[in-house]
Amino acid sequence: MALDKVLAHIDENLPDATDRLLKLLSIPSISTDPAYKDACDQAADWLVDDLNSIGFEASKRRTPGHPMVVAHGPEVGQHVMFYGHYDVQPVDPLDLWDSPPFEPAIEDTPKGKVIRGRGSSDDKGQLMTFVEACRAWKAVNGSLPAKISIFFEGEEESGSPSLVPFMKDNADELRADIALICDTGLFGETTPAIVTRLRGLLGEEITITGPSKDLHSGMYGGISMNPIRVLAKIIAGLHDETGRITLPDFYEGVPELPTDIAGQWDDLNFDHFEFLREVGLSTPAGEQGRTALEMIWSRPTCEVNGISGGYEGDGFKTVLPSKATAKISFRLVGDQDPHAIRKAFRAYVQDQLPPDCSVTFDQHGASSASQMATDHPAFEQARQALSDEWPNAAAFTGCGGSIPIAGHFKEILGMDAMLIGFGKDDDQIHSPNEKYDLESFHKGIRSWARILDKLSEV
């Protein structure tokens, strides 16, 4: 079988693939720091040269920020678009690294060999799993099994300011039958996951103002309204005693979890007691009657991310503050409308204001949730392919966070995306001593080879 030969080629050439990854990791492509602009250019050039060497037509595309890399293979079969990002997070604090972050190396650890270095898991090691799968397929078969395009971004770690304009300007070129994104992880250590739902995000900062200046609580306490007291009442009223969010029509557009997906999640045997124990907690505090994974992956939330007001220094000061501020975020699911929820939240706050108090609002983003159409045949094909490679069967999972690129593919290009990654929870992405298990890299390459084989049948 052609696939068996490709997998054998991957196994035999893993040292060469690892050496190529180490070379890419040695380029300090930190996108948020202007001092590394040339390094970002260098990383883009390295990827262009590497993709051209295996038969892609690759080029570096200029943007107002760091360049994009776009590559296309020969036109044959289903058209898939693979996305990754070559930029990395800053390395500070440098003194907490056990080895230089841009001198990557293979290390032996009690859990096995790891690739140590900034970007090893997020996202250079991940994107190179796909490139190496293409390389192996081409080496064995002389061609790729589908029409493959590749889209690498250089600003993901700095807010992607150039991404949406670039996608809109090049929509016809970037559009494909389905997108593949490798910027996620396994469920646990050995269970592959295809993320099919991502929560949206809405942020609001509110400031309640009462008196024109801070007051002495002995002289004014009792007779004057305290903005912190007003803010506390507003926050307390956002949830009822069952953990549900009280804003009018908040749950409009929130779907119930399909039975087949709920079954897959049950089969994951998620230990929420251990999950909470690791952070010093013991009891789920979300909506009653929902499983832990439902609360994390498929239910909306309202959380207070910060509160300030009055005297916050050491010691004690009997002050009645002029202002009190809170930062509040909503994670959204399904078809919830972030703009409608913002309007409802602000109306709720306004209705809670007593005389002599006013409020100002500062908005911080408003993105909808993304939910993929898993009835597309590619999803089940990929799930089967992953299940063939890993010890445990793959599952369609959710993600508690937000990955904007998946939404952009849907909104701008009309494409669903499969988010498949091989990172682990202990990879320390964004932190000192980032690593990527050599097994994740090896089996990630094999996984993409299997997925490409299945997609060639679609």
| Alpha carbon of residue 243 to chain centroid | 26
Give the end of a domain, one of 367, 385, 402. 367
Average pLDDT, the chain: 95
The tens digit of pLDDT for each residue in 433-446 reads 999 999 999 999 99
Range of the domain at 359: 200-254+300-367
The whole-angstrom separation of Cα 382 and Cα 347 is 45
Tell me if 267 is assigned to some domain.
Answer: no
Tell me if 288 is assigned to some domain.
Answer: no
Tell me if 139 is assigned to some domain.
Answer: yes
| Domain of residue 346, CATH code | 3.30.70.360
Question: Both 352 and 396 in a single domain?
Answer: no
Q: How many structural domains comprise the chain? A: 2
- pLDDT category at 458 given cuts 50, 70, 90 is low
Question: Both 112 and 62 in a single domain?
Answer: yes
pTM of the model: 0.86
Question: Both 219 and 338 in a single domain?
Answer: yes
In whole angstroms, how far apart are CA 97 and each of 91, 105, 117, 431, 433?
Answer: 8, 13, 9, 9, 5
Question: Both 73 and 206 in a single domain?
Answer: no
Question: Both 105 and 215 in a single domain?
Answer: no
Mean pLDDT of 145-156: 96
- The total of other beta-carbon atoms located within 10 Å of residue 366's CB is 17
Question: Both 379 and 358 in a single domain?
Answer: no
Question: Both 344 and 375 in a single domain?
Answer: no
The whole-angstrom separation of Cα 18 and Cα 20 is 5
Give the end of a domain, one of 335, 367, 399. 367
Tell me if 71 is assigned to some domain.
Answer: yes
Predicted local distance difference test score (pLDDT) of residue 371? 87
Question: Both 160 and 245 in a single domain?
Answer: no
- pLDDT category at 414 given cuts 50, 70, 90 is very high
Question: Both 64 and 111 in a single domain?
Answer: yes
The whole-angstrom separation of Cα 359 and Cα 205 is 10
Tell me if 223 is assigned to some domain.
Answer: yes
Tell me if 279 is assigned to some domain.
Answer: no
Question: Residue 192 pairs with which residues in a beta bridge?
Answer: none
Predicted local distance difference test score (pLDDT) of residue 457? 81
370 has a pLDDT exceeding 90 = no
| Residue 199 near residue 369, CB atoms below 8 Å | yes
Tell me if 442 is assigned to some domain.
Answer: yes
Give the end of a domain, one of 367, 388, 421. 367
- pLDDT category at 48 given cuts 50, 70, 90 is very high
Question: Both 13 and 141 in a single domain?
Answer: yes
Q: What percent of the chain has pLDDT over 90?
A: 91
Q: Rounded to the nearest 10 degrees, what angle do helices 438-455 and 377-389 cross at?
A: 140
The whole-angstrom separation of Cα 193 and Cα 267 is 13
| Domain of residue 177, CATH code | 3.40.630.10
Tell me if 282 is assigned to some domain.
Answer: no
Question: Both 175 and 207 in a single domain?
Answer: no
Q: What are the phi and psi torsion angles at 415 (to 5°)?
A: -115, 140
Question: Both 206 and 320 in a single domain?
Answer: yes
245 has a pLDDT exceeding 70 = yes
